Chains A and B, each alone.
Chain A
Amino acid sequence: MNYLPNIIFAIALLLGLGYFAKNVKKLVRNIKLGQDVDVSDNTSQRWKNMINIALGQSKLVKRPVSGFLHVVVYVGFIIINIEVLEIIIDGLFGTHRIFSSVLPTSVYGFLIGTFEVLAFLVLVAVTVFWVRRNLIKLARFWKDEMKGWPKNDGNFILYFEMVLMTLFLVMNATDGTFQEMQSGNIISQYLAPLFSDSIAPVIERVAWWLHIVGILIFLNYLYFSKHLHILLAFPNVYYGRVNNKGQLNNLASVTAEVKMMMDPNADPFAAAPEGAEDEVPAKFGASDVQDLSWVQLLNAYTCTECGRCTSECPANLTGKKLSPRKIMMDTRDRLEEVGKNIDANNGEFKDDGKQLLGDYITNEEIWACTSCNACVEACPVSIDPLSIIIEMRRYLVMEQSAAPSELNNMMTNIENNGAPWPYNQQDRLNWKNE
Chain B
Amino acid sequence: MSKELNVPTMAECMAEGKTPDILFWVGSAGSYDDRAKKITKAFVKILNKANVNFAVLGTEESATGDLAKRAGNEFLFQMQAMMNIEVLNMYEVKRIVTCDPHSFNCLKNEYPGLGGVYDVMHHTQFIKELISSGKLDIKESDYKGKQITFHDPCYLGRANSEYNAPREVLSSLHANLVEMKRSKATALCCGAGGAQMFKEPEKGNKDINELRTEDALQTNPEIIATACPYCMTMMSDGVKVKEKEAQIKVLDIAELIASSQNL
Contacts and interface: CB of A to CB of B under 8 A. Distances in A.
A421 interface: yes
Given A370-B191, A372-B189, A406-B200, 20 more contacts: A244-B108, A247-B110, A250-B113, A254-B74, A261-B79, A284-B74, A315-B204, A315-B208, A320-B202, A321-B202, A367-B199, A373-B159, A394-B74, A407-B195, A411-B71, A419-B63, A420-B63, A427-B31, A431-B40, A434-B37
Interface in A396-434: 396-398, 403-404, 406-407, 409-411, 414-415, 418-421, 423, 425-432, 434
A392 B114 CA distance: 22
Interface string A353-376: 000000000001001111111101
A398 B74 contact: yes
Given A244-B160, A397-B73, A428 B31 contact: yes
B188 A317 contact: yes
Interface string B22-56: 00001010111100010011000000000000001
14 contacts: A244-B161, A245-B159, A258-B82, A318-B204, A318-B205, A319-B206, A370-B191, A370-B192, A372-B188, A372-B189, A390-B70, A403-B73, A414-B68, A429-B56
A370 B71 contact: no
B61 A407 contact: no
Contacts of B202: 315, 320-322, 364, 367-368
Given A312-B186, A420-B63, A429-B7, A372 B71 contact: no
B82 A432 contact: no
A370 B68 contact: no
Contacts of A404: 199-200
Contacts of B150: none
Chain A: number of interface residues, binned into ranges:
35 or more
B159 A370 contact: no
A243 interface: yes
Contact of B62 (A243, A368, A425): A425
A420 B77 CA distance: 12
B80 A414 contact: yes
A409 B70 CA distance: 15
A373 B152 CA distance: 13
Interface residues of B, number: 70
B154 A372 contact: yes
A370 B191 CA distance: 6
B105 interface: yes
Nearest to B73: A397
B67 interface: yes
B208 A419 contact: no
A314 interface: yes
B154 A398 contact: no
Interface of A: 243-248, 250-251, 254-255, 257-259, 261-262, 284-285, 312, 314-315, 317-322, 364, 367-374, 376-378, 390, 392-398, 403-404, 406-407, 409-411, 414-415, 418-421, 423, 425-432, 434
Given A250-B113, A398-B73, A407-B198, A420 B191 contact: no
Interface of B: 5, 7, 9, 26, 28, 30-33, 37, 40-41, 56, 58-59, 61-63, 65, 67-76, 78-80, 82-83, 105, 108-110, 113-114, 154-155, 158-161, 185-186, 188-189, 191-196, 198-208, 210-212
Nearest to A426: B59
Among A397, A423, A426: residue with most chain B CB under 10 A = A397
Contacts of B158: 245-246, 372-374, 376-377
A367 B37 CA distance: 29
A396 B72 contact: yes
B26 A370 contact: no
A-B pairs with the 6 shortest C-beta distances?
Answer: A246-B159, A393-B72, A371-B194, A418-B62, A319-B205, A372-B189
A246 B80 CA distance: 18
A421 B32 contact: yes
A418 B204 contact: no
A262 B202 CA distance: 36
Contacts of B56: 429
A403 B72 contact: yes
A261 B83 CA distance: 12
Contacts of A314: 188-189, 191, 208, 211-212
B31 A429 contact: yes
Given A372-B154, A374-B186, A420-B198, A394 B59 contact: no
Given A415-B76, A419-B32, A428-B31, A403 B110 contact: no
Contacts of A407: 71, 195, 198-199
Contacts of A262: 79, 82-83
A272 B161 CA distance: 45
B208 A370 contact: yes
A397 B195 CA distance: 13
B189 A374 contact: yes
Contacts of B31: 419, 423, 427-431
Contacts of A367: 199, 202
Nearest to A253: B74
A95 B201 CA distance: 67
B76 A411 contact: yes
A398 B76 CA distance: 10
Contacts of A319: 203-206
B191 A425 contact: no
A373 B194 CA distance: 10
A397 B69 CA distance: 10
A377 B185 contact: yes
A396 to B, nearest CB: 6
Contacts of A376: 158
Given A312-B186, A371-B194, A419-B31, A250 B78 contact: yes
A429 B201 contact: no
Nearest to A362: B202
A315 B61 CA distance: 33
